Chain A
Amino acid sequence: MTLGTVIGFALILIGVWGMLTRSNLIKIIIGFSIIDTGIHLVIVSIGYLPGRTAPIIDGAVDKARAGLEVVDPIPSALVLTAIVIGLAITALMLTYAVGMFREKKSLNIGDYKELKW
């Protein structure tokens, strides 16, 4: 385990707590973003190898010894994908919030009972 993994999981739990206890739609979306950030941190920390450097071949990394000197590039690439998709999903959720507000003039999740069981 590394510190990054622990902080990432802590962020996930904080985000879930925020999503479950807040009733303002905007705050629920913020909770989702915190979960998102936590997951990114966990994925990046999985690819981290102690004592190694960024996966870019330049003066600091010898091309022949790259396999021994750089961290795993795949989690970084996956997180880059995840960040962009997280951004798109957040924008879409905010749009839904705008649409819901337009319909009922309320951002309180308790006012929307149509899908409640």
Chain B
Amino acid sequence: MLRRIFAAFAVVLLAMALLPFITEIHPFQELSPVARHYAEKGPDELGGANLVTSVIVTYRGLDTLGEVTVLFIATAGVGFLLRRDERDEEESAAAAGTDESGSAGNSPRPASELLMSGSMLLFPLLMLFGVYIFLHGHLTPGGGFQGGVVIASAMLLVMLSRVSLHLNHTVLGLVESLSGFSYVVIGVVGLVLAGGFLDNRILPLGELGNLLSAGAIPVIYSLVGLKVGTELTNILETMKSEEEL
């Protein structure tokens, strides 16, 4: 009870601290000068129709590189923390050996017909949709991160319907490292050929609104999409193999 009173007290204090943000800060009526520059000059400077993408991939590309790094470190952390010690594996193998009769009942039940057929129907569509989202990141809402999440959800569907399936970690790791590496290489190429790190004007800007426009933005976003997709698939795969312990 006392704990709840303290919690309520803390929430009330926090609410009082947040109150000035609601009562005393008035929303902008105009864009700030930086945002104004992005909105007015952005399409001509970078050739991207989606201004949010221009900001993420080019104007603040370094932030996005940091973000991808955070995601990578989190994935590595998940893999590291869920790693099974050799001792644990021996123990579970010994447990399985003494418990022969029970182990047959422990083997995963195959997925239902509905889930199998549904995932087989949806998997290619989801993959295609994910690729569509990250290829059109500079034209429509969406981009590498969203497309990567859609791809990971397609992989999750496959993992749900085929419980015994194990994904090839080498291929996942290879795709992930190669896309991350190429991302940095493109950034450095921008430093040499264009205005700065991650500058997208190393490729022709093209016509505003076309698929092949906005310089290197579609390339960078595709790499980010591949990287995020494989990273999240890796997390899911690690958590799934943990469940089989």
Contacts and interface: CB of A to CB of B under 8 A. Distances in A.
Interface of A: 1-2, 5-6, 9, 12-13, 16-17, 20-21, 42, 45-50, 54-58, 63, 66-67, 70, 72-74, 76-77, 80-81, 83-85, 87-89, 91-92, 94-96, 98-99
**A-B complex: 9 closest residue pairs judged by Cβ atoms:** A88-B74, A20-B7, A55-B51, A73-B51, A67-B40, A77-B55, A66-B39, A57-B49, A72-B35
Interface string B201-221: 000000011000000000000
Nearest to B8: A17
Pick from B8, B40, B139, B141 the residue with the most CB of A within 10 Å: B40
Interface of B: 3-4, 6-8, 10-11, 14-15, 18, 21-23, 25-32, 34-36, 38-40, 42-44, 49-52, 54-56, 60, 63-64, 67, 70-71, 74-75, 77-78, 81-82, 139-141, 143, 145, 208-209, 228, 232, 235, 239, 242
A31 B153 CA distance: 23
Contact of B78 (A6, A67, A72, A91): A91
Is chain A's binding surface mostly helix, strand, loop or mixed?
Answer: helix
A92 B18 contact: no
